[in-house]
Amino acid sequence: MARPVAVVVVVVVAAFLAGLLTSEIAAEIAQNSADFYNLGRRRLPQQSLCLELIEPSGYSCSEHKIQTKDGYLLGLQRVSSRSGDLRTQLGPPVLLQHGLFMAGDAWFLNSPEESMGFVLADQGFDVWVGNVRGTRWSHGHVSLSEDDKNFWDWSWQELAEYDLAEMIHHIYSITNSKVFIVGHSQGTIMSLAALTQPDIAEMVEAATLLCPISYLEHITAKFVLRMVNMHLDQMILAMGIHELNFRSDWGVNLLDSICDGHVDCNDLLTSITGKNCCFNNTRVDFYLDYEPHPTSTKNLHHLFQMIRKGTFSKYDYGILKNLKLYGQLKPPSYDLGLIPKSLPLLMAYGGNDDLADVEDFRHTLKELQSTPELVYLENYGHIDFIVSIKAKEDLHDRVVGFFRSWGKSSSS
């Protein structure tokens, strides 16, 4: 984007956000601020995920590149325990699928004893780490540049139907085994949508869904709700911004403009996700060396459609394009009843999660044929499920036990 246009965007959006934040939301955003609007000045990882974060902790790791049916080149990492060897890894495969504004590094941000990716590897699982299109550990597109607006023409619908589907198929074909899935946040939206497709579900042994989302009608995060109600997503799209990257020049300037003089941006994370009980504040600088990753504005718009409409549906293009693409006036819904009753599910949710609301979660449960195993952590917020310092006893042991209860993954 040319700099004059970027400046206009920053000024307009910053003024807009400043206005909507100066009321009760400003009072909610307290503690820990400067880190979040200094993102663009931070060091960006320069190497592969294996070299940058996994191998330095003593784990074997290999990089894989796969191509989706629509031409995106995704990065996958394969990890084994500190005492293991990738060439002789015999445990069942587990795919870790990250959430919004994150990538595969999210599973390795704490110590080996506290990080899901390391824990599963040490327990003998064949750990595969997914990275969706547009994140820094993936590899672009066969023909589109990241500067091309068409590169960012996707939402979680494509992440489910193309990215996750291709990851599962690749792991299944390499290992000759059905795949365990662990998804967090957007990774659960992708998983639930993908598992309604029989050809994908038949390659999956069981799934663990952390902060499971299919409906977003009752989220309570005031910062997010204000943006939804004021249609900020549509405003950004109308301005021609197709990539949401808070490490870009316009993203950094936007956050600077909001947080420097307009509103106190302390504890911005809590205002979005809910209060996280077990977040290690001493590691915030380290976390922000890796997060956030880019996503598309269209993806954010699709998520906001879910909040406004209370549906779990494909992207709504409007009546005319819906008719052209879907053959109907409204976008088709994903039918959770199509997820096989025989597919084991573990679903973990938190009492302080302002994004994956308990009422919406109950809506999801009602539509499933199966009765999932449930883990309720009363004090957990949305991010605790990834970086809690108590995760081993609260969560990881339950996930390991759940997967082991289903034995070694079935051969094809």
**Catalytically active residues, by annotation:** 185, 353, 382
C-alpha 345/C-alpha 371 separation (Å) is 8
- Sign of the C-alpha dihedral, residues 19, 25, 31, 36? negative
Length of the chain: 412
Report whether 216 contacts 186 (CB < 8 A).
no
C-alpha 122/C-alpha 107 separation (Å) is 14
CA-nearest of 40, 21, 27, 89 to 61 is 89
Find tokens 């973990």 and name the residue. Answer: 348
C-alpha 54/C-alpha 81 separation (Å) is 10
H or E stretch including 94? strand 93-97
C-alpha 290/C-alpha 347 separation (Å) is 27
Report whether 168 contacts 138 (CB < 8 A).
no
C-alpha 380/C-alpha 32 separation (Å) is 19
Residue 86's alpha-carbon distances to 13, 172, 218, 333, in angstroms, are 48, 16, 44, 40
Q: Which two tokens stand for residue 409?
A: 């993954």
Q: How many Cβ atoms sit within 10 Å of the Cβ of residue 260? A: 12
C-alpha 98/C-alpha 68 separation (Å) is 18
Cross-strand partners of 93: 126
Report whether 177 contacts 411 (CB < 8 A).
yes
- Sign of the C-alpha dihedral, residues 76, 59, 295, 219? positive
H or E stretch including 220? none
Q: How many Cβ atoms sit within 10 Å of the Cβ of residue 184? A: 28
